[in-house]
Amino acid sequence: MRKPISLLISLILLLFLNATPSSATPKVFVNGQGVRFDVLPIVKNDVTLVPLRAIFQALGAQVNWDGTTQTIFAIKNGISVKLSIGEKIAYKDGKPVTLQEPARVIGGSTLVPLRFVSEAIGAGVAWDGTNQVVTITSGDSGSQSNTPVGTIKVHFLDVGQADSILVQFPNGQNMLVDAGNNDDGPAVVSYLKQQGIKKIDFLIGTHPHEDHIGGMDNVIQSFESGQVFMPRVTTTTKTFEDVLTALKAKGLKIITAKAGVTVFDQGNLKVNFVAPVGSSYDDLNNWSAVTRIQYGNIPFLLTGDAEAQSEGEMLNSGANLKADVLKVGHHGSSSSTSPAFLKAVAPKYAVISVGAGNDYGHPDKGTLAKLANAGVQVYRTDQDGTMVFTSNGNNITVEKLRSTVKPRAPDTNTVITPTAPIIPVAGGYIGNKNTKKFHLPSCSSLPSEGNRVYFKTRDDAIKAGYVPCKICNP
């Protein structure tokens, strides 16, 4: 039995017909095109109830569903319509309207008043009783919109050696996954405002590293926010504390992001988490909330910094990992994109969010080779700037803005000879302020200079609350 939400995007309309026999099944046309139904129309108390997925899509309205209150919200051209299952009072732009028959669920399908809904969003309705034909004219059938109806846009923001992804859903809602480093917050806010964003309906912090949640407090302060998702892990960093403070000031609570949690499911649009699967990790990267978006036939997989351990757990969980677009884990590091995981995802496109000339050597040559050998088309923020992937649920187009959200120094012809970082005492240790790990000076995963703290001895690092890196084993 299908949930009401599975037919919501097909708004379902009801026409009041005088003396219509209960056995009649009217034919319906929208802007001259006949509509085929998954479920045949029925008549209740001389009122025709019709499940009309194709009609509602043809009318170009957007529909949301609140499963808790069993309420339908329809929006078109700034006009809002609200109906609740079983209620005879509906609302147009907040004003109550009495219905002859309420919206209801019959045979697993949601049926909603046709004349009220269609006329409320500006469509005309005509009834031919002799031929049992309903004709609906949207009034804008000949017009063209600058923004195609029914498209999803996924913006991979170029925030340097950091992550930030804006998703604009076809139902008019917005989701932001991560917000760059601490100094990226104002630039991320500016970019969102340029896209006309007024509300972040779903805010996801994949894990509490600065290069993912650093700018999130700015976003929370600047926009109305709906639901906030983060994995159940904490740190003692100032960055993480700033996010918690911003959430508290807005009265927002954190919903745990973990495998099996669904953000929302609206017909052919679904967003859910496939990681973290476990409940204990030594490395914060493996706490990453991995988000899968499915719109029509096109899936996206946004992996945060999930590494091989998390990838293995996702594979073992049996979750659907297939994706046409993969946000490559951990900025293209060798610690992510394991062969088995890449095979399961089988992407057509891969996006690597990475800073030009970063200290980590990202993306790793081996990772790039794996992607190339799998025939994946790779896009990189350090080379392509901010990118926008647009899909109608069947096809994907990619726009490379070749611009950066994060300001960069201009290119020069000056040759700069790199110097080794200064270690206070030979044989000392380097700590990462974000991860609270300490490393040998020769470690391959040293943090950038701004995130380093130096210790004379191993005991000094441990007393300061730092733990040994598992790569260099200091």
> What pLDDT digit, counting tens, does each position of 377-435 carry?
999 999 999 999 999 888 899 998 877 776 543 333 323 233 333 333 345 788 888 78
- Identify the pLDDT of residue 261: 95
Q: Answer yes or no: is pLDDT of 452 > 50.
A: yes
Q: Answer yes or no: is pLDDT of 373 > 50.
A: yes
Q: Answer yes or no: is pLDDT of 8 > 50.
A: no
Q: Answer yes or no: is pLDDT of 178 > 90.
A: yes
Q: How far apart are CA 155 and CA 38, in angstroms?
A: 34
pLDDT band at 276 (very low <50, low <70, confident <90, very high): very high
- Identify the pLDDT of residue 22: 38
Q: Answer yes or no: is pLDDT of 140 > 70.
A: no
- Identify the pLDDT of residue 286: 96
- Identify the pLDDT of residue 274: 97
Q: How far apart are CA 352 and CA 368, in angstroms?
A: 10
- Identify the pLDDT of residue 185: 93
Tens digits of per-residue pLDDT, 308-345? 999 999 999 999 999 999 999 999 999 999 999 999 99
Q: Answer yes or no: is pLDDT of 268 > 60.
A: yes
Tens digits of per-residue pLDDT, 17-60? 333 333 456 677 766 566 666 666 666 766 666 664 545 655 66
Q: How far apart are CA 188 and CA 190, in angstroms?
A: 5
pLDDT band at 242 (very low <50, low <70, confident <90, very high): very high
Q: How far are the Cα atoms of 190, 286, 361, 399, 469 from residue 282, in angstroms, in the given order?
A: 35, 8, 23, 38, 10
- Identify the pLDDT of residue 101: 80
User: Angle at the Cα of 362 (from 357 to 367), degrees rounded to 5?
Assistant: 145
Which residue in the block uniquely carries the two structure tokens 């399908």? 109
Q: How far apart are CA 158 and CA 148, in angstroms?
A: 25
- Identify the pLDDT of residue 147: 31
* Position with higher pLDDT, 402 vs 94: 94
Task: Identify the structural domains of the chain with CATH numbers, from first to last.
Answer: 4-137 (3.30.457.10), 152-400 (3.60.15.10), 429-468 (no CATH)
Q: Answer yes or no: is pLDDT of 6 > 70.
A: no
- Identify the pLDDT of residue 451: 75
Tens digits of per-residue pLDDT, 198-238? 999 999 999 999 999 999 999 999 999 999 999 999 999 99
pLDDT band at 462 (very low <50, low <70, confident <90, very high): confident
- Identify the pLDDT of residue 407: 53
Pick from 171, 69, 48: which is nearest to 112 by CA? 48
Q: Answer yes or no: is pLDDT of 350 > 60.
A: yes
Q: What is the mean pLDDT of residues 125-135?
A: 65
- Identify the pLDDT of residue 78: 67
Q: What is the mean pLDDT of residues 140-168?
A: 75
Q: How far are the Cα atoms of 270, 278, 287, 376 from residue 293, in angstroms, in the given order?
A: 6, 21, 19, 19
* Position with higher pLDDT, 141 vs 322: 322
CB atoms within 10 A of CB 89: 12
- Identify the pLDDT of residue 138: 62
Please check whether residue 308 is in contact with residue 336, taking contact to mean a CB–CB distance below 8 angstroms.
Answer: yes
- Identify the pLDDT of residue 410: 36
Write down the mean pLDDT value for the chain.
Answer: 80
Highest mean pLDDT: which range of 98-102, 153-157, 410-414: 153-157
The DSSP string of 263-285 is EEEETTEEEEEEE--SS--SSGG
Q: What percentage of the chain exceeds 90 in pLDDT? A: 48
Q: What is the mean pLDDT of residues 143-170?
A: 79
Q: Answer yes or no: is pLDDT of 359 > 80.
A: yes
